Chain A
Amino acid sequence: MAADEPAIEVVDVHRTFDVRRRAGRLRRTRQVVRAVDGLSFDVARGEMVGLLGPNGAGKSTTVKMLTGILVPTSGALRVVGLDPAAARTRLARRIGVVFGQRSGLWWDLPLRDSFALLRRIYDVPADRHAAALAEFVELLELGELMDIPVRALSLGQRMRGEIAAALLHEPELLYLDEPTIGLDVVSKGRLRDFLRTINVERGTTVVLTTHDLGDVERLCRRVLVVDHGRLVFDGSLDALRRLDGTTRTVVVDLATSSPQVEVAGAVVTRVDGPRQWLSLPSGASAAPVVAQLAAAYDVVDLAIQEPAIEDVVARLYQRG
């Protein structure tokens, strides 16, 4: 396989579901739901991409098609050069998957046994397995957890175990579904550091679906936003922030409570005592606004807030 071949190629993929609903005692109505509706994108090898979208946007359906669990209704997918639906088992050796809500570990077995089982299932040579395991145990600080049954682990501990389990056969591509959901700040940080490490040092391509935009901000240079089964945005986080209609905010603390300040190029959106919030288009420079404020008013302190990525994405969904 050519090295410059993308890790993932998705071309005009559709996926519809028949949903049957009860309508009366015996009658049922059928409804066709378009979960994925003409999706196209590429992911290059070694990229770390965030896949965002509200619930029901088609993220999970997309990941299921990329892993070969679900067959697309139409369109073409290639993952590390393979057709996932047709070559599901061959593909399985080359990808790692962490489904956030479902465990890839054995609930009643100690972590150590789960890892040993995965070695047999993926048929990994003992020495390679031992080396990879040693590395992940250290990076993910699993050493003290190895003999504890998975069901007795905390959520954060379990998630570290899940990620190690998905990586032990050294896949080229890793899918993570909501990896930091429910984790505390420290666990989140640790997990993000680890993901960055394997992405940079092993060159593992990572696709992350998440609701946690903190994950995206800290990990992904590129973001794909899906809504109603379509791609509504593909680009960098900065580009996402500069989208039309989004705003940056200048927060200014004046010496005394005053009426709304008047500055060209910005509008006051909120006043709270001596503190005022000014909004300006995210494409515009904040410098003239700051200069005007400093010249005309008695400014004690001043801060510039980038648009919250949540707001940007929420606005995207509304437009889609």
Chain B
Amino acid sequence: MTALVRSWQAYRAISGAWVRAAMAYRASFVALALGQVLTSGADFIAIVLMFASIDTLGGFGLGEIALLYGLTGLGLGIADLVAGSTEQLGRRVRDGSLDTMLVRPVPALVQVAADQFALRRIGRISQATVVLGWALLHVDIDWNLTRAALLVTTIGSGAVIYLSIYVLGAAFQFVAGDAAEVQNAFTYGGVTLTQYPLTIYPVEVVRAVTFLLPLAFVNWYPALHLLGRDDPLGLPGWVQAASPLAALALAAVAGVAWRGGVRRYRSTGS
């Protein structure tokens, strides 16, 4: 437990230093954060414009799609804020800065994630929060305690699923050198895929993001429950509450992959 507490303290210290450094240039920080709001918001504006000429997409209305969009955007936003810096791993291996982290008494993953912590990434979080808030006002959800809890755990699980993808991508870079693009394909690609109702995709895609890389648990299954919709795959009802399980499973896989990556690095020297 003390190791966890220490890691957390180190994470806070390192990220805090980067926040202070960024705040020295407040105007530039505000501009960058706003820029993130705009770039991540552009695809939602595209969806809104699309709904000027259609009423439903894949059987879902604008409010419902906004719910899907908000949930997945928030999940990615949190993960990106916490661990977006892991993209840099390939460079760290190449320039040797990973070595300086490996001789410090804090897990290298914590240092890689905290280093160059960019608070401007709250841009995406705030944009997704606004869309999610708007969605909750415009969809018809029969609220009770279970559904409220489901909403909260979904956001947490979504963040953990995207976090795990960041870590998996970083672990992959131990093998493939600079594969930040591959990592992006799954993080940004995943968010683009899941911001639409999965009914618009072939069933193979839905199966893949259910059983292979559990992106559908970021928003799709819990949203089906919240909206009282039928599951097109016809999976049992508990699946719609299984996001935390999917998140934990993927996190475990990511943890093993990261350890494997570090072990490989330490035994091959590259």
Contact string against B for A residues 127-138, beta-carbon threshold 8 Å, 1 for contact and 0 otherwise: 000000000000
Residue contact A68 to B102, C-beta cutoff 8 Å: yes
Give the number of chain B interface residues (Cβ < 8 Å).
26
Per the bound structure, the CA–CA distance linking A92 and B103 in Å amounts to: 5
A82 contacts chain B at the CB level, 8 A cutoff: no
Residue contact B104 to A92, C-beta cutoff 8 Å: yes
Per the bound structure, the CA–CA distance linking A94 and B110 in Å amounts to: 20
For B14, the chain A residues whose CB sits under 8 A away are 117, 120-121
A4 contacts chain B at the CB level, 8 A cutoff: no
CB proximity of A179 to chain B, nearest CB, Å? 15
Contact string against B for A residues 54-78, beta-carbon threshold 8 Å, 1 for contact and 0 otherwise: 0000000100100111110000000
Stretch touching chain B among A106-114, A189-197, A266-274, A304-312: A106-114
For B103, the chain A residues whose CB sits under 8 A away are 67-69, 88, 92, 95, 97
A34 contacts chain B at the CB level, 8 A cutoff: no
Residue contact B100 to A121, C-beta cutoff 8 Å: no
Residue contact A88 to B100, C-beta cutoff 8 Å: no
For B100, the chain A residues whose CB sits under 8 A away are 97, 99, 102-104
For A70, the chain B residues whose CB sits under 8 A away are 266-267, 269
Residue contact A108 to B21, C-beta cutoff 8 Å: yes
B95 contacts chain A at the CB level, 8 A cutoff: yes
Residue contact A64 to B20, C-beta cutoff 8 Å: no
Stretch touching chain A among B5-13, B222-230, B234-242: B5-13
CB proximity of A30 to chain B, nearest CB, Å? 12
Residue contact A123 to B17, C-beta cutoff 8 Å: no
For A68, the chain B residues whose CB sits under 8 A away are 102-103
B96 contacts chain A at the CB level, 8 A cutoff: yes
B202 contacts chain A at the CB level, 8 A cutoff: no
Residues 81-107 of B contacting A (Cβ, < 8 Å): 95-97, 99-100, 102-107
A41 contacts chain B at the CB level, 8 A cutoff: no
Q: A18-B268, A67-B102, A69-B102 are in contact. List 4 more A-B contacts (CB 8 A).
A: A17-B269, A64-B99, A69-B103, A70-B266
Q: What are the nearest 3 A-B pairs in CB distance?
A: A120-B13, A92-B105, A97-B103
List 9 contacting pairs A-B, 8 Å CB cutoff, sorted by A. Answer: A64-B99, A68-B102, A70-B267, A71-B266, A92-B103, A99-B100, A102-B100, A117-B17, A121-B105
